[in-house]
Chain A
């Protein structure tokens, strides 16, 4: 089974801090995604990466950056955390579109609170 692991289930940080959320997958997937989920707004795509060192903006990239130095790891960075970034963050991975159409696998999520 595919395993997508997010480093923390719960995280509390202060306004202005630099925050790192880590995601690791063990199935050699090319594509990795970061979403945030807020009540009434569903899941919204922040960034995705289709290969090492490649990244694309999703629907709501403002205030975030990402890093993909190794294929198995995709990091989401809040450069200067703000209270409106309090949310549930979900990481996912899937093989490349060019190989086959496979399910998207999610981590357990990180519930981030910015005080």
Chain B
């Protein structure tokens, strides 16, 4: 099945810094999402982005489907950005979503 990798596994930032999180996947996808899991365990949809670029406030994401990767940009990070960021993909053949292992982000005041 499709494999999903995320990097870096852990990231520590000072408040106000910018960061880039990466998601690589091993096959063509028709669905890619970025999620933020907050400290209470809730998974929040950030972007649905199988291709192209989207922006929402301080966050933006770009997926280059032909090269099988997606990037999540966080600018001017805040302590509330802390948590785990997951990307999840669905390939062209299945109903399932496959999750990456996540990037744990800690933003320090």
Q: A residues engaging B (CB < 8 A)?
A: 31, 33, 35, 37, 42-43, 45, 48, 50, 56, 58, 88, 90, 92, 94, 97, 101-106, 108-109, 111
B96 contacts chain A at the CB level, 8 A cutoff:
yes
Q: Which B1-54 residues have C-beta < 8 A from chain A?
A: 30-31, 33, 35, 41-43, 45, 48, 50
Q: B residues engaging A (CB < 8 A)?
A: 30-31, 33, 35, 41-43, 45, 48, 50, 86, 88, 90, 95-97, 99-102
Query: Please, how many angstroms separate the alpha-carbon atoms of A31 and B99 in the complex?
Result: 17
Asked if B43 and A101 make an inter-chain contact with CB atoms under 8 angstroms apart, the answer reads no
Asked if B101 and A104 make an inter-chain contact with CB atoms under 8 angstroms apart, the answer reads no
What are 25 A-B interface contacts by the 8 Å CB criterion? A35-B99, A42-B99, A43-B86, A43-B88, A45-B96, A48-B95, A58-B96, A90-B43, A94-B97, A97-B30, A101-B31, A101-B90, A102-B31, A103-B31, A103-B33, A104-B31, A104-B33, A104-B45, A104-B88, A106-B35, A106-B42, A108-B41, A109-B42, A109-B43, A111-B41
- The secondary-structure label for the interface of chain A is strand
Add 8 more A-B contacts to A42-B102, A45-B97, A104-B33 (CB < 8 A). Answer: A33-B97, A43-B88, A43-B99, A45-B96, A88-B41, A97-B90, A104-B31, A106-B35
Query: Please, how many angstroms separate the alpha-carbon atoms of A105 and B50 in the complex?
Result: 16
B86 interface neighbour in A33, A42, A92, Cβ under 8 Å: A42
